[in-house]
Amino acid sequence: MAALPKSLLVFLTFQAVLLFASILWSKNTTIFSTRPSSGKFQVNDRSEVTNTVHNGNLRTQEGLVTTRQGKCNLPVTNFVFIKVHKTASGSTFMLLARFGRNHDMTICYPARRSKARHKQLSYPSGKLIRKDCNPAIGRNYTLLIHHSIMNKPAMDRIMEPGTKYIGIIRQPLNHFRSIFFWEQHILRHNKNPLATFLNMKENYTVRSKDPYSKHRNFQAHYLGFPTKLMASKNTSQLYEALRTVASWYSMVIITEYWEESLVLLKRKFCWTMYDILHSTRRLHALKTRKEHVTLTDKQKDTHRKMSNIDYMMYDYFNNTFWQRVAEEGPEFWEEVTYYKTLNHEVNQHCTSVRGERVFPANKWSQEFMINSTFCHELHGWGEGRWAVSCRDVVNKQNEEMKKKQAQVLNDSDT
């Protein structure tokens, strides 16, 4: 056999290595996996990402979003958001609704007016059927963001196959402070309502009869933790259930790290900076002095015991979040800093000039333009207005579908 020239050999070896690497890459379907060994909590990279109508405001369509795993150019445009009360879910709702409207997503808009008024879909029952949504002729839903208790089988039945789930969770004591006054608890006129309430509950134990309420294990229930296991004392059983619940979600936003969570969401869902711009006016803050009150260690401990599943779940998702952020590498934090500055500039522009302004492309962002319409929506629209604008998209889609169907009937007549 004739010896191959050395340069050709080097070349062939190089090609073989490349080929091998690309085979590995094409087989590598996981975007992330929090614990590679557990195999849970994974989503598929390319296969599950649906095609999309590109956002009209993005000028450069080629600008691919670079992530640690490689490039992606197909944003996730079918998702459910579990909108847990009093977790900054309202601000998240508006941001996600804007994304949905901009991407012509098909919302499951509550068919019942009284529900729609309160941004509720299945809440508080958890039962959900197609009839609960305004009709979408000939299509599955791709967007569900109204208050609904997580019910994966029921939601999967009405959503487009491959739909991703986004959750949100808040540090349980912060959540308790906030929801206590929202639910107009009977003790709220007391001098120190939170402390009084917790002192009364000192000897409370979770019973299987009433394992959750608005101020205990409320978030766990909302996010789909099985009610019948809440009173269990078997830790491994609880963690098993928790891991199952976690495996349903592609992303769980942590209220305490809301903007950081949005950057992670952007990366994981292949979105743009433009998609996650938000109004700085509506960030949640503890409002009344009574909410801020200092609690004793004993009172805090009482809440921890009462709401044990919420704490377990929060710690789990918070840990997972930080683990995933660590996997993104130090550039993640550069991006967060850039995002906060950019968002601040956008908000300032919208409170002063409000006219057209182009934000140039850079490492983290495609070029985009904002104008007075954008500013009006950012600062003037509430949740209800956003929901209606998503509903209007579906109504338009239905009209088009009806026209098409009439066309088909006409054609078959002649």
Give the contact letters, 32-61, x = binds to ligand NAG (CB under 6 A), - = no.
-x----------------------xx----
Decide: is 171 part of the binding site for ligand NAG (CB under 6 A). Answer: yes
Query: How many helices (H) and strands (E) are present in the chain, helices listed first?
Result: 15, 10
CA–CA dist 151, 75 (Å, integer): 25
CA–CA dist 24, 335 (Å, integer): 29
Decide: is 318 part of the binding site for ligand NAG (CB under 6 A). Answer: yes
CA–CA dist 309, 216 (Å, integer): 8
Which of residues 39, 124, 135, 138 is near ligand NAG by CB under 6 A? 138
Counting residues that bind ligand NAG (by CB under 6 A) gives: 23
Amino acid letter, 98: R
Q: Taking the complex as a whole, how short is the minimal distance between the CB of residue 30 and ligand NAG, in angstroms?
A: 5
Decide: is 153 part of the binding site for ligand NAG (CB under 6 A). Answer: no
Which of residues 13, 15, 28, 208 is near ligand NAG by CB under 6 A? 28
Positions in 327-366 near ligand NAG (CB under 6 A): none
Decide: is 30 part of the binding site for ligand NAG (CB under 6 A). Answer: yes
Nearer to ligand NAG by Cβ, of 73 and 372: the residue is 372
Sign of the Cα pseudo-torsion (136, 139, 144, 150, in order):
positive
**Among the listed residues 80, 291, 284, 278, the one whose alpha carbon sits nearest the alpha carbon of residue 180:** 291
Q: Taking the complex as a whole, how short is the minimal distance between the CB of residue 283 and ligand NAG, in angstroms?
A: 16
CA–CA dist 253, 167 (Å, integer): 6
Q: Give, as one character, the DSSP assignment of residue 147.
A: B
Give the contact letters, 373-402, x = binds to ligand NAG (CB under 6 A), - = no.
x-----------------------------
Helices 331-351 and 308-328: crossing angle in degrees, nearest 10, is 100
Decide: is 125 part of the binding site for ligand NAG (CB under 6 A). Answer: no
Nearer to ligand NAG by Cβ, of 22 and 190: the residue is 22
CA–CA dist 10, 202 (Å, integer): 74
Amino acid letter, 379: H
Choices 59-67, 229-237, 329-337, 390-398 (CB under 6 A): range interacting with ligand NAG = 229-237
Q: How many CA atoms lie within 13 A of 61 on its CB side?
A: 5
Site residues, ligand NAG (CB under 6 A): 24-25, 28, 30, 33, 56-57, 138-140, 161, 171, 234, 236-237, 240, 256, 318-319, 322, 371-373
